[in-house]
Amino acid sequence: KAGVTQTPRYLIKTRGQQVTLSCSPISGHRSVSWYQQTPGQGLQFLFEYFSETQRNKGNFPGRFSGRQFSNSRSEMNVSTLELGDSALYLCASSLDNRSNQPQHFGDGTRLSIL
Amino acid sequence: KQEVTQIPAALSVPEGENLVLNCSFTDSAIYNLQWFRQDPGKGLTSLLLIQSSQREQTSGRLNASLDKSSGRSTLYIAASQPGDSATYLCAVHRAGKSTFGDGTTLTVKP
């Protein structure tokens, strides 16, 4: 069974641009969560999607948005990029949003802002 | 607001030693706690998941315990090997959101 796939693996952008990251969950998984990992702030929760609906949202500005498609694939968009957005963005999927389901993570997209 | 703390931040041990990593959390109203391993430049690999109603889980040389009332979890690694070198993260999960600690970076010297 294929794991969580995130594309692209690496991305370089400049300030002010926008970016879209993609996450394909494990087949059959319907819940997808996004996290930002930086050396200074650690791993921080961005948002969670289940059945194409955003169920939970972390404390990030509105420049960070996402969506989930009917096949459970998810995209995350960041607009008006800032230097501080440089980070490893991780996607996790689980079977559903019930408590007894473990989260499975992809290898992430490393975003560098110049 | 949930806060997760992991102690120590870094640990270096000789091969073969048994070790314990600690994780504490401030809000005991959690659904589950999950331990992960992260290798440099990689994503997170799930090691063990403990439901809030459970006390411990075991997988091979790993044993994780959970004391929800005191807000603590430990990850015990037996007979450590150089391949165990990585950053270990614990995360508590509630209402569709996981809160992570900053991790313990483990180095196992041959």
A1 CB-contact burial (10 Å; exposed 0-12 / middle 13-18 / buried 19+): exposed
pLDDT score of B97:
84
Judge contact between A109 and A6, C-beta under 8 A: yes
- B8 preceded by a cis bond (ω within 30 of 0): yes
Cβ neighbours of residue B25 under 8 Å, at least 6 residues apart?
B2, B3, B4, B5, B33, B71, B72, B73, B92, B99
Residues of chain B in contact with residue A104, where contact means CB-CB under 8 angstroms, are: 46
pLDDT score of A99:
65
**Which residue from A42, A90, A97 is facing B43, i.e. has the nearest CB?**
A90
* Stretch A35-49: mean pLDDT: 93
**In the structure, what pLDDT confidence band is assigned to residue B1 with cuts at 50, 70 and 90?**
confident
Q: Taking 80 as the threshold, does the pLDDT of residue A1 lie above it?
A: no
Q: Which is nearest to B36 in space by CA: A95, A11, A43, A29? A: A43
pLDDT score of A30:
93
Q: Quick one: what percent of chain B has pLDDT higher than 70?
A: 100
A 10 A CB-CB count for B48 gives: 21
Residue A83's φ and ψ, nearest 5 degrees, are -55, -35
Residues of chain B in contact with residue A99, where contact means CB-CB under 8 angstroms, are: 31-32, 51-52, 93
pLDDT score of B14:
97
Residues of chain B in contact with residue A102, where contact means CB-CB under 8 angstroms, are: 34, 46, 49
Residue of B nearest to A103 (CA): B46
Judge contact between B31 and B93, C-beta under 8 A: yes
Residues of chain A in contact with residue B4, where contact means CB-CB under 8 angstroms, are: none
Q: B33, B49, B98, B99: which to substitute to probe chain A, counting the most A Cβ within 10 Å?
A: B98
Summarised one tens digit per residue, pLDDT across range A62-97 is 999 999 999 999 999 999 999 999 999 999 999 887
Cα(A113)–Cα(B42) distance, integer angstroms: 19
Distance from CA of A103 to the nearest CA of B (A): 7
Q: Quick one: what percent of chain A has pLDDT higher than 90?
A: 85
* Stretch B4-14: mean pLDDT: 96
Residue of B nearest to A106 (CA): B43
Summarised one tens digit per residue, pLDDT across range B60-93 is 999 999 999 999 999 999 999 999 999 999 999 9
pLDDT score of B80:
97
Burial A38-58 (b: 16+ CB within 10 A, else e): eeeebbbbbbbbbeeeebbeb
pLDDT score of B95:
75
* Stretch A31-57: mean pLDDT: 93
* Contact between chains at A31 and B98 (C-beta distance less than 8 A): no
Averaged pLDDT score across all residues of chain A: 93
Distance from CA of A51 to the nearest CA of B (A): 13
**In the structure, what pLDDT confidence band is assigned to residue A40 with cuts at 50, 70 and 90?**
confident
Cα(A90)–Cα(B72) distance, integer angstroms: 26
* Stretch B22-34: mean pLDDT: 94
